[in-house]
Amino acid sequence: MDVIITPLSKEYIKNIAYLHCKYLSGLLSELGPNVTRIFYENALLWDGNFGYVCKQDGKLIGFVFATTDNQEIFKRVIKVKPLRILIQILISIFKKPILIKKMINFFTKEINNTNFPELSYIAIEKDFRKRGIGSMFIKKINDEYRGRNIFYYELSVDKSNLEARKFYEKKGFKLKYEYKQHGIIRCKYYINL
């Protein structure tokens, strides 16, 4: 398996948005690929965010995205081009009215004043899992955080995703607590580097 891990850049965003919506749960996926694409376009404009993609034979097969500040990311994404993302959010809400409640919950209850570095998203095409790509991504993220003098970060995963939870625990992540988000029980993990 000849795979290439390279820094996440604008050229990969459309494919990343597709993978994100295909494999990840959560509000961003529910808002759809257009909002997700704008999220990543805007997020990459801030150097506190970073990530990597994995390609094989020129095809994007996975990505990882992280931030140095989990609270600042959403503020900055919205501030870049607020009208553009707002229009896409409204289109998504029009198609799925239940998203109104989820958006209100997200912005009133889920964003808190606790800022921390976070591995925000990781997704790998199903046919390419269990081939070491996730391990390569974690190594890259760990190295990037260390290079930024950050020696602690967190991540969340659906409690029902036992495969991912086992993977993170094997990589040294410790369970911090469980919480409910949009009706889904999630596990918050952390690691000290």
Domains, the chain: 3-151 (3.40.630.30)
Sign of the four-CA dihedral 176, 72, 22, 91? positive
Hey, which bits of 20-96 come out as E strands?
49-56, 59-67
Q: Is the pLDDT higher at 2 or at 61?
A: 61
pLDDT band for position 120 (cuts 50, 70, 90): very high
What one-letter code names the amino acid at 18? Y
Residues 18-73: tens digit of each pLDDT: 999 999 988 899 999 999 999 999 999 999 999 999 999 989 999 999 999 988 88
Give the Cα separation of 115 and 118 in Å (integer). 9
pLDDT of residue 180 exceeding 90: no
Full-model pTM: 0.90
